[in-house]
Amino acid sequence: MNLTTEQKKTVVASFLGWTLDAFDFFLLTFLLTDIATEFQTDVPAVSKALFLTLATRFIGAFFFGMLADKYGRKPILMLNIVSYSVIGALAAFSPNLGIFLALRALFGIAMGSEWGLGSSLAMESIPPGARGMVSGILQCGYPAGYLLAAVAYGLLYGQRVGDFTIGWRAMFLLSFAPALIVLFIRSHVPESPAFVEGRSQARPGLLETLRKHWGIALYAVVLMMFFNFFSHGTQDLYPTFLKKQHGFDPHTVSWITIVANIGAIVGGLAFGALSEKIGRINAITLACVIALPAIPLWAYTTTPFMLAIGAFIMQVAVQGAWGVIPVHLNELSPGSVRATLPGFIYQAGNLAASYGGPYQAGIAEAPGGSYGYALALFAGVVAVCIIIVIRFSPERRGQVMTVLDREAGAIPGKM
């Protein structure tokens, strides 16, 4: 993968933005039981914060994406990172559950645009032959953020600093850290060459583009709904499953989650690179097939060692499939709205899947239910759905990216 120094810095900035975005999101998944205890409620009630964060992300993808298509990827990415950092940290000061949920909804708006902005900036800045590997690298930011959250939880949570014990509120203050990336972006990352090239030329707006390409946009939203069920359905409640169903301590929960996210990073890198050889659709299909035999090991074994092996394999599959998504959606998107459309489609799918967390928790805590059953049900059904749906996707591997629509005009308007 031959990239210039500037291109490498762009990839690093986009990766770090998504990594620390995910870090802020996944901190919550380790703290659900503690927040429920303080606010004298149950886990399903607090898990509505997951729903609200996911449900509002499409607003941010649309709003910040429109700004980036007008003013540039770089300055709006910087604004976005500062926004989600500050709002994420404010959750530490929530006086009650209602305020906490409201802040997580606002966090979702800020979080929702980072993926679209970072991926469009990176994909427009690199050679076509490097996109598969870079796609895997970018998507690995998500499990890398989860891994960082697991490490922070394992090392810091419950530790005493003088007379102070680090609890869930202090953990949320770590959300301030991503704002430091802005300094790096401002000094070292150039604007997207495609945006600079087409800045002075007339381009169609989002609504006009959606009218022209409504078929592929609708299809992609459905696809991303299943993808978001796949990731959040296998990740968000897994620490709670380990704590409540198995009674593991924070250290054990932390290292099992770390192993899972190492698997996610391996999967994202491997399948992102593989997609350059066998195609985007085939790589996603293969990853989802691998998830199915991993379910018994991942959800129904009882020892930490076996659960860790199952979690590793499952996340190789889940994030292996996801590792292809940044490049696949950017290649399918018309250039004039590339900062808006992929992120909006991704987050619209998130909206459709946003109630998955509370729904899973409800299944798990219903009479006769369990967290293992709820996790296995989601993983199995959704993996099969993705295998079926992805086979209908157009393949645009190697698409030349500009902000003009002369190449993207070949994208079909309907299936």
Q: Which of 324, 323, 297 is nearest to 311 (CA)?
A: 297
Residue 353 vs residues 90, 99, 314, 408: alpha-carbon distances, Å? 26, 23, 20, 28
- Find out whether 115 and 199 touch, Cβ atoms under 8 Å: no
Q: 22-77, pLDDT tens digit by residue?
A: 898 888 988 998 999 999 998 889 988 988 988 888 888 888 888 887 888 889 88
Percent of the chain whose pLDDT exceeds 90: 33
Is the per-residue pLDDT at 400 higher than 80? no
pLDDT at residue number 415 = 38
Report whether pLDDT(151) > 70. Answer: yes
Dist CA 63 CA 179 (whole Å): 20
CA distance 109 to 89: 15
Whole-number percent of the chain with pLDDT over 70: 90
Which tokens belong to 227?
A: 């993808």
Residues 6+ apart with CB under 8 A from 205: 336, 337
Distance from C-alpha of 355 to C-alpha of 343, rounded to nearest angstrom: 19
Residues 244-261, buried b or exposed e (16+ Cβ, 10 A)? bbbebebebbbbbbbbbb
Q: What is the pLDDT of residue 187?
A: 85
Q: Which two tokens stand for residue 26?
A: 């996944």
- Would you place residue 200 in the very low, low, confident or very high pLDDT band (cuts 50, 70, 90)? low
Beta 164-165 vs 160-161: how paired, if at all? antiparallel
What is the pLDDT at residue 100? 96
Q: So what's the pLDDT on residue 340?
A: 67
pLDDT computed for residue 178 by the predictor? 79
Helix axes 371-390 and 356-365, enclosed angle (nearest 10): 140
pLDDT, tens digit (0-9, with 9 covering 90-100), for 342-386? 777 877 887 888 777 788 888 888 877 789 999 999 999 999 999
Cα distances from 365 to residues 44, 359, 369, 379, in angstroms, run 9, 10, 6, 18
Q: What span, in angstroms and rounded, lies between the C-alpha atoms of 189 and 255?
A: 34
What is the CB neighbour count within 10 angstroms for residue 82?
15
Which residue has better confidence, 207 or 356? 356
Q: Calculate the CA dihedral of residues 329, 331, 333, 338 and round it to 10 degrees.
A: 90
Q: pLDDT tens-digit profile of 289-337?
A: 999 999 999 999 999 999 999 999 999 999 999 989 888 887 777 655 6
Distance separating alpha carbons of residues 60 and 68, to the nearest angstrom: 12
Write down the pLDDT at residue 209: 66
Each residue's pLDDT tens digit, 116-135: 788 888 888 888 888 888 88
* Residue 94: per-residue pLDDT: 95
pTM score over 0.85: no
Output DSSP code: residue 164.
E
Quote the pLDDT of residue 191: 87
Confidence grade of residue 202 (pLDDT, cut at 50, 70, 90) = low
